Structure 1
Amino acid sequence: MKLTQFVNIWLLFVTTVLAVQPFKKVWENTQYSRVIDVGKSFVKERHDIQVTNIDSEPAIQYLFGLPKHMSPDATLVVAIYATKDGKRALLKPQKIPVQDEDLTYFDLKFPYPIAPGSTFEFILSFMITNQMVPYPEHIPMEKTQVIKLNTYAYPLTSYDTISYSLDIANTKSVTELNLDDLPILFEKVENERSVSFVASDLIEGNTVYDFTFTYPRNLPLTYINYLQRDLWVSHWSNTLQLEEYYELTNHGAKLDKGFSRSKYMTESIANKPHHAITALRIPFDHSKALQYDSIYYVDKVGNVSTSQYYENELIIRPRFPIFGGWNYNFTIGWDYKLDQFVKQQDDEYIITTKILDGIQDSTYDKVNFTIYLPEGAELLDYALPFAVAEPTITNQYSYLDVESGHLKVTFEFENLVDEMKNLSIVIRYKYTTYAMLHKPLHAAFYIFLALMGLYVLKKIDLSIKPNEKSDKIESEEVEIIDKDEKSEN
């Protein structure tokens, strides 16, 4: 048997085991509490789960799913459990290659095997973008925006659930669109800042039903289509320069008619919560000292005066209110002292910085994170809080670069949210003393050559002067001509 055939048979066997074994009902969801937080422009979910091993052998693997239409937009899927000493530890679920038309499955391995009859508690959390849809899509300017959310009703597991509750948090009012079509009834309870649904009966495994509801949210759905985030590292000036270019769209409700500036002003729509973007808030890291005089904000028209920096937060007011479907782009920049971010050991440096600073309550479709290391630097290693593709490493010429230019390291991220601004990227690089002195010495050498060339040029007489000998001959010829004319007369 050829090696390739053996490998293919082995892969088929492994896939079959993964597809069958995890669905065995070794667990029972004793208590399952699910919270859907709709307070922002993206969905945050938290699942507090207590499971019991109902099998005859210890078990360590737990399987759960997400709808196919949600899984591409799910981000930061993590699980947390309490250790024996009371601390919190992190688990990372992994997608498994199970073919299913409706669900994408994740495999979660517990830190240790759970004995038969024993329980284990953990918290599963994730965020899902692009799920909130204005309902209806077009509304008058002064009308309150309503959002429709299509999710799932019951736990997406193959295990039976004894006790189940579903809470819609950060809203006072929920209108269910298909509650009567669900096979297991819910008891609805309205609280001060949430609406709860409690299942009345046991929920068998693999019970998959959609759950659609609407709720009022008269705030914009800020969506960053593209963010170019550049960080320039300068050891000579001890400066970390940041510049961000944004392209954003409001995914909120669109206007059913044209925009009326007079109506917008007379009804004071801008002075109350509204589904149009009238201001953008960008909070900065409170633990770092920002150079206030370095902040700038421009759009394609030029410098904009309607911006304010207050208590480590930059507030930007666009030139016009950005309603649903409208676009806007702008650039901001600021400086930090580099020694707040960099640690040095001999010729090696470690720089730690945030992936985002981030517009408050926003979703990011694509982020290009680029860090420009000094000319002559060498990238050694990097660390990220989640898996991404390998960075692109090129060179970029800047001021006084004399050879290869700055080392340009670019990471591409997708499907981020503003709450990821606390996640950091760590980059380790080598920058020798020779490389640090190489650039200014080369620049000084070229400047010296230029000055010497200027000095030499100043010593060369390039002026045009008449020849004395030729002037004498010309004067003699003139005298002869004058004498000839006088003799003729």
Structure 2
Amino acid sequence: MFKFLLYVLFISNAYCLQKINEALNNKNVERTIDLTSQLVKITATVNVENTGKELARSYLIALEPELNGNISFVGAKDFSKNDLRVNPIQIEGRSKDIFYNVQFRQPVESGRTVTITIEVVLIKALVPYPSSITQKEKQLVRYYGNHYFYSPYTTQKQKTEVEIYSRVIENYTKFKPVNQVDSKINYGPYDKVAPFSKDEMIIHYENNAPFLTVTRIERVVEISHWGNIAIEEAIEICHTGAKLKGPFSRYDYQRDTGSNHHSIKSYKTILPSGAHSIYYRDMNGNISTSAVKVQKDWIELELRPRFPLFGGWQSSYVLGYSIPSYQYLFKKSTGEYLLNVKVLDHIFDDMYVEELETKIVLPVGVSNIKVKLPYDMQRLSDGVTYKYLDNIGRTVIRVAKNNLVEQHIQDIEITYNWQPHLLLHEPLLVSLALFILFIIVIIYVRLDFSISKPEHVKKE
């Protein structure tokens, strides 16, 4: 019963019912919709005005019900680019709409205006149309959006700029005032827009950006107090763009030297600057078609699959490397350590990860483990694994999350207690094993296992 009450309290805090503060209004909104990749990135700079008499402490972000299942990330920053706290909530009488509550750093006084920047990343919001194409055809997609900035507040003035992958636009809705300049479409300005206003925006255009999806990634981070952290990622990828129609011709593919193609030949992964001992292999063995470029603050690794990926094609591989532990493992006090490692790292630009499971293997003998997650994740049950020469299992921290993008590349913090004398654990085991082996060899060479005595012994 007590656990049930705690669960109800947690749910009520995360999704508390709240009323809309009608004293707030959007004085001016400048919105940008980025359609240049497989993700839809919406950025809105909003001037929020408090027309009421009381202090305003929070602001509501509203998203259309049609976006349910497409939202991967929602964030907000203030005028100084500091992150603001954003939490999902529910609003009385608006059960179908999607709301997030943004906490101001400082309450907004009556008659004052504050500027915030809202960032929303949508997944699976671009629909290939047609859904299947031949090897030589270009990939066309459709985007369904809203001409208006969807908000629970009145918007005094707003305009929207849509960035397209290329100039090739089949058609788009002509909601005046509107104009197209090269690969950009400008909507607005629109004045005095009522709350929750909707007008469907449809854009049909060419988009040959890589529609590469990580269907599953299993990331294993192994911690060693000998000065090394080993990371290995088992990655399954799929081309989720328009499916390939008809046969694949290697001859035509090699003749096509243009870079603007919907197939995926290679992509670049960013590794930490101290990464070394890098390996890249699939089920057939090591893949040598990769290139490593050392940059100033990171290492750029270009990965080339064994075959190009067309729509509907899949592949899988394992990427591993090691990094020095002093950059991520810190000693807080005697016997207490703090570990900061990324729960997810960069795989390719504009990445989308459907399913992630991260395993962090801690050293032998840790205790009093505390885990601080960077955002809402599923904490799986801890596991136990055995490495070389281990007679005591190592604790494995396991976390999982679905539908991730680059904004989810953040650190997980783990605090634990560990005694330095445990470094001698494995060397002592090796020494003991060798000592026992030598004793066995000494005894063996001194024993006589022959059935009869030698001839020279009999004559004596």
TM-score interval for Structure 1 and Structure 2 normalised by the shorter chain? 0.7 to 0.9
Q: Which amino acid aligns with 1:106?
A: Y
1:365 aligns with 2:354: yes
- CA shift digits 1:177-197 (9 cap, x unpaired): 6736xxxx4322323553211
Residue-by-residue CA offset, 1:367-387 (whole Å, 9 max, x unaligned): 111111111123532333312
Aligned twin of 2:339: 351
1:466 shift after superposition = 6.1
Q: Kindly state the Cα deviation for residue 15 of structure 1 after the two structures are TM-superposed.
A: 12
Residue number in structure 1 paired with 2:286: 303
Shift of 1:321: 0.8
The one-character-per-residue Cα deviations of 1:45-101 (angstroms, maximum 9, x if unpaired) are: 11100122223433333223112342443233221113xxxx443212222133646
Aligned CA distance change for structure 1 residues 318 and 255 (closer, same or farther; 3 Å): same
The root-mean-square deviation of aligned C-alpha atoms, in Å, is 3.0
> In structure 2, what is the equivalent of residue 326 of structure 1?
313
CA distance in 2, matches of 1:442, 1:348: 25
Give the alignment of 1:197-208 within 5 angstroms.
197-208=187-198
**1:27 maps to 2:24:** yes
Q: How far does the alpha carbon of each residue in 1:312-340 deviate from its partner, in whole angstroms, 9 at most, with x for none? A: 21112111111011000001111122223
1:75 matched residue in structure 2: 72
Cα distance in 1 for residues equivalent to 2:354 and 2:101: 26
Normalised by the length of structure 2, the TM-score is: 0.88
Take 1:415 and 1:379, find their aligned partners in 2: how far apart are those partners? 31
- Say if 1:201 and 1:387 are closer, same or farther in 2 by CA, change over 3 A: same
| Alignment counterpart, residue 414 of structure 1, candidates 392, 395, 402 | 402
Give 1:115's match in structure 2, choosing from 109, 112, 135: 109
Change (3 A) 1:359 1:211: same
With 346-355 and 38-47 compared, the bigger mean Cα shift is at: 346-355
Structure (1/2) with the larger strand percentage = 2
2:363 corresponds, among 359, 365, 374, to 374
Cα distance change on mapping 1:341 and 1:17 into 2, 3 Å? closer
The whole-number CA distance in structure 2 between the counterparts of 1:59 and 1:337 is 47
Of residues 141, 145, 149, the one that matches 1:147 is: 141
1:430 aligns with 2:417: yes
Structure 1 segments (4+ residues) deviating >6 Å: 13-17
Find out whether 1:401 has 2:390 as its counterpart.
yes
Look up the match of 1:447.
434
CA distance in 2, matches of 1:337, 1:111: 37
1:462 correspondence with 2:455: no
Distance 1:359 1:257 in 2: 30
* Alpha-carbon distance in structure 1 between the residues aligned to 2:139 and 2:422: 58
Identify which range, 63-72 or 146-155, moves more after superposition.
63-72
Q: Hey, what's the Cα distance between the residues in 2 that align with 1:195 and 1:463?
A: 96
2:100 paired with 1:106? yes
Give the direction of change, closer, same or farther, for the CA distance of 1:72–1:17 in structure 2 (3 Å limit). Answer: closer
Structure with more helix by fraction? 1
Aligned to 1:96: 89
State the alpha-carbon separation in 1 of the partners of residues 160 and 448 from structure 2. Answer: 92
Please tell me the residue identity of whatever aligns with 1:337. Answer: P
Residue equivalent to 2:244: 255
2:200 to 199, 204, 210: 210
> How big is each residue's C-alpha offset from its partner over 1:183-230, in whole Å with a ceiling of 9 and x where there is no partner?
xx4322323553211144421112133322122211220100111111
Q: 1: distance between equivalents of 2:14 and 2:45?
A: 30
Structure 1, gaps ≥5 residues long = 473-489
Task: Measure how far apart 1:442 and its partner are.
Answer: 3.0
8 Å CA contact 1:96, 1:106 repeated in 2 = yes
Determine if contact 1:377/1:435 at 8 Å carries over to the other structure: no
Distance change (3 Å), C-alpha of 1:320 and 1:125: same
- TM-score of the pair, normalised by structure 1: 0.83
Change (3 A) 1:14 1:144: closer
